[in-house]
Amino acid sequence: MHTKRLAALILIPLLALPVLAGDKKDKKQKDKPKAANLVVDSGSFGVFVSGRRIATETFTVKQLEQGSVTTSEIKLEGSNQLQNSTLQLTPGGELVRYEWKESGGLEKGETTVEPSQQFLTQKIKSGEKVSEQPYLMPSTTAILDDYFFSQRELLLWKYIATSCHPAAGQQGCQMEKGQFGFVVPRQRMSGMAVVNFVGREMLALHGVAKELSKFSMTSEFGDWVLWLDDQHKLVRIVLSGENTEVLRD
């Protein structure tokens, strides 16, 4: 029952699987205008440490004809320091380009990550200095940069789309563990994350009890617990052992 509900998520917006439409199109389909700039998700996340809000991420995920674009802005509480990022993916969920910029604070920087032949290349600009960081990882690698929690939502959608397998004699599917390579551009590091569907759980959010889908994400960078609502939106993240919680506003 619950896994059947999850199966409906199969990442139609972001993967935009061409097989869903098929090869045959009638005249009406050909003449119909193509949808562009479809907003898949938008909103903001509050970042709390020991119950105190320290930052806010405002984000938008759009589906375009050529793939998807996720734009985010991070603002630290009590500061004019801003971080902005743009993540572009192909219809198949592969990296096209990632851009990150920091402004307003004492430190300013820029970085980009793009596929280069069989690996990824990060270019870092700090003042007048420009350097490069190669990653021997394919274009299917996820970007999980610091404080950009909307990127975790994208990885959850990808996990569900690729790890939901039909259950013998049952409706819906069974969720198996998935492994995903990722890059953390701000730390110039890469790793491997294991994502797993834990189950359904009742949780109070903003004073309202809701049944949510619970997931775990583990890597050498730490253990995360994440919750999606029935609209497939990321609503909560807890970083185990760090007194850090992320909540959708």
Would you say residue 25 lies in a domain? no
- pLDDT, residue 105, reads 65
Confidence bin at 96 (pLDDT 50/70/90): very high
Would you say residue 12 lies in a domain? no
CB-facing half-sphere around the CA of 97: CA atoms within 13 A: 7
- pLDDT, residue 14, reads 35
- pLDDT, residue 7, reads 42
Q: Name the residue range of residue 148's domain.
A: 34-248
Residue 28 has pLDDT above 90, yes or no: no
Question: Average pLDDT in the 24-34 region?
Answer: 44
Would you say residue 26 lies in a domain? no
Confidence bin at 97 (pLDDT 50/70/90): very high
Would you say residue 3 lies in a domain? no
Would you say residue 172 lies in a domain? yes
Sign of torsion over alpha carbons 141, 196, 154, 77:
negative
Which H helix or E strand runs over 30?
A: helix 27-31
- pLDDT, residue 233, reads 95
Would you say residue 211 lies in a domain? yes
Q: CA angle, corner 174, sides to 178 and 144, nearest 5?
A: 25
Would you say residue 6 lies in a domain? no
Question: Average pLDDT in the 221-245 region?
Answer: 93
- Residues 35-91: pLDDT tens digits? 567 999 999 999 999 999 999 999 999 998 889 999 999 999 988 889 999 999 998
Residue 10 has pLDDT above 50, yes or no: no
Question: Average pLDDT in the 1-27 region?
Answer: 37
Question: Average pLDDT in the 1-19 region?
Answer: 37
How many domains is the chain partitioned into structurally? 1
Instruction: Report yes or no: 83 and 101 within 8 Å, Cβ to Cβ.
Output: yes
- Residues 134-170: pLDDT tens digits? 999 999 999 999 999 999 999 999 998 888 776 665 5
Residue whose structure tokens are 């990127």: 151
Would you say residue 2 lies in a domain? no
Count other C-beta atoms under 10 Å from residue 4's C-beta. Answer: 13
- Residues 167-213: pLDDT tens digits? 665 555 678 899 999 999 999 999 999 999 999 999 999 999 999 99
Residue 4 has pLDDT above 60, yes or no: no
